[in-house]
Amino acid sequence: MDRGTAERLIQPYSQFDELFNEAHTVIHALPDQEEQKRLRQPMTRAMVGLRTDFMFPIVREFPDLDPDKEQREPDPELSPDELARVAQLTESDVMRIDAVLVAAASVNWRKVARIVGTAMNEPTRLPGVPDIYYAERVRKLVEAGRLESQGNLGYMRYSEVRLPIQRSSPQP
């Protein structure tokens, strides 16, 4: 892709991002949690797809066009309410979250934000568990060798993971 095309494509991306954020705010304000969930799932899929399949390939080729380059802040810490919710998780719940995260991974590099978004859209999602906790679990899976990473895992939008590649031992 030439630079001029990349520049023209990045401009509407920023508008899409603003619209998604506005829609997310409206959805979050709905009183019915089932309706929130029903609406949040396609929104999240669209947002993740737009970032990973549209914007990231452009930014990979032209890093200076990254609309988020000024806003690169590490993932926030869990809030006290989120910490309280996470403290309620059983070992079985954590294992279920880990299994969904690993299932969302591939042998190809994928953004951690994509893995987290995909896992959070699973019908078996535990209510009230924030995306930041899912990102923390990704870090634990990397530490345990169940995933490989590149980039700083403290920035889920700017780091990637994949399933470990099985290297065969040399034949004698």
How does pLDDT run across 69-98, given as a tens digit for each residue?
655 678 889 999 999 999 999 999 999 999
Q: How far apart are CA 45 and CA 125, in angstroms?
A: 15
How is domain 73-172 classified at the CATH fold level?
Arc Repressor Mutant, subunit A (1.10.10)
Please check whether residue 102 is in contact with residue 144, taking contact to mean a CB–CB distance below 8 angstroms.
no
pLDDT tier at 172, thresholds 50, 70, 90: low
How does pLDDT run across 46-57, given as a tens digit for each residue?
877 787 788 878
Using left for φ > 0, alpha for ψ between -120 and 50, and beta otherwise, residue 169 falls in: beta
Q: How far apart are CA 15 and CA 1, in angstroms?
A: 21
Q: Judge whether residue 169 has pLDDT over 60.
A: no
Q: Judge whether residue 130 has pLDDT over 60.
A: yes
Tokens of 123: 């019908």
The pair phi, psi for residue 145, each rounded to 5°, is 80, 10
Please check whether residue 76 is in contact with residue 132, taking contact to mean a CB–CB distance below 8 angstroms.
yes
How does pLDDT run across 8-35, given as a tens digit for each residue?
888 787 777 777 777 877 877 788 878 8
Q: How far apart are CA 101 and CA 103, in angstroms?
A: 5
Q: Judge whether residue 140 has pLDDT over 70.
A: yes
pLDDT tier at 144, thresholds 50, 70, 90: very high
Q: How far apart are CA 87 and CA 144, in angstroms?
A: 21
pTM of the model: 0.61
**Mean pLDDT, all residues of the chain:** 85
Q: What is the dihedral of CA 108, 114, 117, 121, to 10 degrees?
A: -40
Provide the pLDDT for residue 168.
54
Q: Judge whether residue 125 has pLDDT over 90.
A: no
